[in-house]
Structure 1
Amino acid sequence: MRLLKIGGAELNQTPMDWERNKQNILDSIAEARKQQISVLCLPELCITGYGCEDAFYAQGMQHTAVEVLHEILPHTKDMVVSVGLPLVYQNRIFNTAALLVNGKIAGFAAKRFLAGNGIHYEPRWFTPWTANVTGKVSFEDYAIEEQYRTQEYPIGDILFDIDGVRIGFEICEDAWVADRPGQKLYHYGADVILNPSASHFAFDKLETRKRFVLEGSRAFSVTYVYANLLGNEAGRAIYDGGVMVASAGKLEALSERFSFKNYKVTGAVVDLSVNKLEKFQSSSFSQVSQEGVEVIRVKDMDLPEAQFEQNHVSEAVWESSDYILEEEFCRAETLGLFDYMRKSYSRGFVVSLSGGADSSCIVSLIWLMVKRGVNELGLEGFKEKLGYFSQLKDVKSEEEIMRHMLVTAYQPTENSGEVTYNAAKQLANAIGALFHNLNVNEIFKGYVGIVEGALDRELTWEQDDLALQNIQARVRAPSVWMLANIRGALLLSTSNRSEAAVGYATMDGDTSGGLSPIAGIDKAFLRQWLVWLEKNGVQRQFTLPALKYVNEQQPTAELRPQESKQTDEADLMPYDLLDEIEGAAIRDKQMPLECYRLMKFKFPQYSPEQLKAWVIRFFRLWSRNQWKRERYAPSFHLDDKNLDPKTWCRFPILSGGFEREIKRLETYKG
């Protein structure tokens, strides 16, 4: 029996925030030492931050990353710690993990498979390392101590041997491919595989991670450690953390995700002899490898024997909930909002609260953000993380925090109704937000009068419907921008993904804001989530009964005269159908005729003529409104149906609009 305590850390890093990133690393090392963890895995590119984009090209950044690495070195005495950073070798930039052993650099494992799909652009900055290749790297030109400048360190396809324990790497994407490096590490007798990752959150993604961690530990007969980033690092991607330690196909530790903390360390005691026995008994392990991985033997480090302790898998408690998607949405959004606010030094939020589903969802998330943050960090800890927010200095309760955290404004025109006003006011009061009733009707009428004078004619709903609707939405923007500017707060845009798909939003109206937190979520899900929050709540404790005033309504823009009984679905199509068409057309790249056939199967309650009309409407509106999606405020990435053209779904601003394909559908007889 050889017991070893091994673990990983999740870190809330920020691109190029050198001192805070380093402090999180040092704090996690100190915490690991306190927990008597001998081998600690930190996340991918944790020194620089993962989302540095083209700043990775800057020589100054590359040098600073190496300088910070050497500042971390002295803190790793009597420990083994892996730290991620970009590294230049032969005039190429590589994504590497430095293994620090007892205060010295043992070498650099380099990532072989780069993430270049979806929101990832790693091949733009990094070169994939070639299998079975190693080299030597030095730091002659770096501003570090002279004793380190003259040394050479191994880099590449490396297996480290420390006190008889063989440690190898799969860096994030390396584990997601069929030809995993772990297969080769297995044949070289690896005991431990570390996976430093920057794996962004998406719905249900945890289960996929669990599979490759558990299968890796079983198939390669190793202890497998997965460490991930945490929080909203660079603006769009949210990292959920979730450190995992698995051994011999069994999950030994799993941290609860979406923490509001700067760092969190999770460890487990494992018996390395169990995995060695599996190798001895395996027929596939009988052949000795002759070439490939270089084995680096590290001297002057004895790994201490751990004491047996009960390992803890904490995540299972809420992941087993029947409401996993609602829980994940809540946790991801609230952490994303909190980090975006504090890293942009914004003093709270401003929301134009219409009383409808979208704006109500956003203010509910802000309320939950405060609830979750104070619940985890404590009131003083929550305030400490927002130290720049001076208005919170003397507050004594969550209720006081909410009065400073969120300002809402209901902005009616003559076409607004009492139902939405009551819903907005009741919700604002229930969550403790400031509430203003800013009537913008005179401003709306003023613009109409100016244009009527210029055109020398009266504007009518029969002739000028779209213009009269849009100007009402636009006149609401200046006042909420003004409130945000006065308070130094962040104005949130309230558009959702279903509206983004068909351009059912007023540019410079409801799209106004510095962040669009629900632009990646479809309307049908938002309405379902609001009902869940009203009646069940997060972990059955945070409920908002006041949402009943919102949930009882049909979604409406309230921009036409009330006698028209305007609703969103009458303007567009049923939201559940719209979302299905969007998934088929945009995510799955189906043409109009293919979408129609699929919708005919999924929605038999509608006539073929109606379904044809809706499919055609979707494709035409999608094509005409790419310019709007290009101008949306940054949004959070939460699943594989994101429409953000900057990070996920690219489409030309000008196109043929699927006219040939639409004609084929129009003439189709089925």
Structure 2
Amino acid sequence: SFQVLEKLLQSPATQDIICDVGMPVLHRNVRYNCRVIFLNKKILLIRPKISLANAGNYRELRWFTPWSKARHVEEYFLPRIIQEVTGQETVPFGDAVLVTKDTCLGAEICEELWAPNSPHIEMGLDGVEIFTNSSGSHHVLRKAHARVDLVNSATAKNGGIYILANQKGCDGDRLYYDGCAMISVNGETVAQGSQFSLDDVEVLVATLDLEDVRSYRAEISSRNLAASKVNPYPRVKVDFALSCPDDVAVPTCMPIQWRHHSPEEEISLGPACWLWDYLRRSKQAGFLLPLSGGIDSSATACIVYSMCHQIFVSGQLCLLMGKLILAGCSSCKSLSMADPFPVVLMESFLSLQKFQ
């Protein structure tokens, strides 16, 4: 993981951007699930996860230990491969927030948003204005409603900007992660990512005014009374600004209405995305779809049809030798029947006319 971090630190794409990436970190011989926050080849903070998911499909306690020292920071000695890039020997490790020239940022990790004592509550009372959450939340029917409500309610009662990023695709097992990234400010959604998409990367962008957060908080008397009693977080000073003087005239993003899929759409799209992602990641030759005519095989055929439709819409489809081929890796211009990449050959099941 540190070898990958080294490449990210040196990449031109990460310069002049505060980056928040996840990785396991061994600190004093204890494994922690962490966020590594860095800027311009300098690691600002390693933030370990406080609340671990240990129900349903998750067994984080099998692999990691939760960080139990609230508002406590220790020194972490970097490996030499990272020291050569950053020029740092030690970096802060623990429960802290970042302070830039114009705002204050705090990080949550996945399950912490769902916990009764979410860190964003205390961080918001202590002046944190921007919250980030890098999540690994898998698809469950209607779960997106709960996820969106949690994010919006977090900023509705305490003010602030909440940025949620969620994993996309399958994990090599039975789970499918449905993305659904979003940006919320003061209880309202201003940017929505797709829930079911075949794209590997999706970027959300929103222009927001920090003064909207400050004026929103100033109007909530109960919030201000609680903030006056909160214990402060350790602060890591960052010589960087997220805004510039020329941004004054830039229009801010307006709230949008979240567009939820119907239950029928989720049933159709979720398993279909899992099928395609599993096929291309495993580099197999395709699927064999036996059709007996019963309700089980008919439902399976509908899901396969949904998969093919999404591939067509995403532009990953071509017609070759009278057969419909859904290609995963090679360019459509160089396709041949002997190419070693995932394909789905469907002679009768689909036709291009059905998609047009």
* Range into which the TM-score falls when normalised by the shorter chain: 0.7 to 0.9
* Contact persistence 1:227–1:241 (CA under 8 A): yes
* Contact persistence 1:330–1:365 (CA under 8 A): yes
Call closer, same or farther: CA 1:79–1:314 in 2, change over 3 Å: farther
Deviates further, 202-211 or 233-242: 233-242
Q: Displacement, 1:78?
A: 1.4
Deviates further, 109-118 or 351-360: 351-360
Q: Does 1:285 align with 2:224?
A: yes
Question: Which residue of the partner structure matches residue 135 of structure 1?
Answer: 74
Mapping of residues 592-611 of structure 1, within 5 Å: none
Secondary structure of the 1:112 match is coil
- AA of the residue aligned to 2:75: K
Aligned sequence identity (%) = 25
Q: Displacement, 1:281?
A: 3.1
* Contact persistence 2:208–2:252 (CA under 8 A): no
Secondary structure of the 1:234 match is coil
Q: Within 1, Cα distance between the matches of 2:90 and 2:311?
A: 45
* Contact persistence 2:189–2:258 (CA under 8 A): no
Q: Within 2, Cα distance between the matches of 1:290 and 1:240?
A: 36
Question: Which residue of the partner structure matches residue 236 of structure 2?
Answer: 296
Question: Which residue of the partner structure matches residue 151 of structure 1?
Answer: 89
Mapping of residues 464-479 of structure 1, within 5 Å: none
* Contact persistence 1:157–1:292 (CA under 8 A): no
Q: Within 1, Cα distance between the matches of 2:6 and 2:210?
A: 31
* Contact persistence 2:325–2:344 (CA under 8 A): no
TM-score, normalization: structure 1?
Answer: 0.47
- AA of the residue aligned to 2:268: C
Call closer, same or farther: CA 1:147–1:161 in 2, change over 3 Å: same
Question: Which residue of the partner structure matches residue 386 of structure 1?
Answer: 328
- AA of the residue aligned to 2:77: S
Question: Which residue of the partner structure matches residue 30 of structure 2?
Answer: 92
Could you list the runs of 5+ residues in structure 2 that have no partner in the other structure? 319-323, 338-342
Q: Does 1:235 align with 2:173?
A: yes
Deviates further, 162-171 or 358-367: 358-367
Q: Does 1:332 align with 2:290?
A: no
Q: Within 2, Cα distance between the matches of 1:302 and 1:274?
A: 15
Question: Which residue of the partner structure matches residue 308 of structure 1?
Answer: 251
Could you list the runs of 5+ residues in structure 1 that have no partner in the other structure? 1-64, 396-403, 408-427, 433-540, 544-670
Q: Within 2, Cα distance between the matches of 1:389 and 1:351?
A: 25
* Contact persistence 2:21–2:37 (CA under 8 A): yes
Q: Displacement, 1:326?
A: 1.2
Q: Does 1:70 align with 2:3?
A: no
Structure with higher strand content: 2
**Deviations, residues 429-482 of structure 1 (Å, cap 9, x unaligned):** 4536xxxxxxxxxxxxxxxxxxxxxxxxxxxxxxxxxxxxxxxxxxxxxxxxxx
Q: Displacement, 1:376?
A: 2.0
Call closer, same or farther: CA 1:363–1:392 in 2, change over 3 Å: farther
Q: Displacement, 1:146?
A: 2.4
Call closer, same or farther: CA 1:232–1:326 in 2, change over 3 Å: same
Secondary structure of the 2:24 match is strand
Structure with higher helix content: 1
**Deviations, residues 315-355 of structure 1 (Å, cap 9, x unaligned):** 51xx26xxx11100111111100011111111111122211
* Contact persistence 2:41–2:85 (CA under 8 A): no
Q: Displacement, 1:203?
A: 0.3
Q: Does 1:188 align with 2:126?
A: yes
TM-score, normalization: structure 2?
Answer: 0.85
* Contact persistence 1:345–1:388 (CA under 8 A): no
Number of positions where the alignment pairs a residue of Structure 1 with one of Structure 2: 337
Call closer, same or farther: CA 1:72–1:384 in 2, change over 3 Å: farther
Q: Within 1, Cα distance between the matches of 2:124 and 2:61?
A: 27
- AA of the residue aligned to 2:239: K
Question: Which residue of the partner structure matches residue 405 of structure 1?
Answer: 344
Larger radius of gyration: 1
Q: Displacement, 1:95?
A: 1.2
Q: Does 1:376 align with 2:314?
A: yes
Question: Which residue of the partner structure matches residue 203 of structure 2?
Answer: 265
Q: Within 1, Cα distance between the matches of 2:72 and 2:142?
A: 36
* Contact persistence 2:189–2:255 (CA under 8 A): no
Mapping of residues 169-568 of structure 1, within 5 Å: 169-283=107-221, 284-286=223-225, 287-288=227-228, 291-301=231-241, 303-304=243-244, 306=247, 307-311=250-254, 313=256, 316=259, 319=260, 324-379=262-317, 386-387=328-329, 393=335, 405-406=344-345, 429-431=348-350
- AA of the residue aligned to 1:294: P
Call closer, same or farther: CA 1:295–1:150 in 2, change over 3 Å: closer
**Deviations, residues 86-126 of structure 1 (Å, cap 9, x unaligned):** 11111111111111223321111221100000000111111
Call closer, same or farther: CA 1:231–1:165 in 2, change over 3 Å: same
* Contact persistence 2:102–2:242 (CA under 8 A): no
Call closer, same or farther: CA 1:171–1:389 in 2, change over 3 Å: same
Q: Within 2, Cα distance between the matches of 1:358 and 1:242?
A: 29
Call closer, same or farther: CA 1:309–1:183 in 2, change over 3 Å: closer
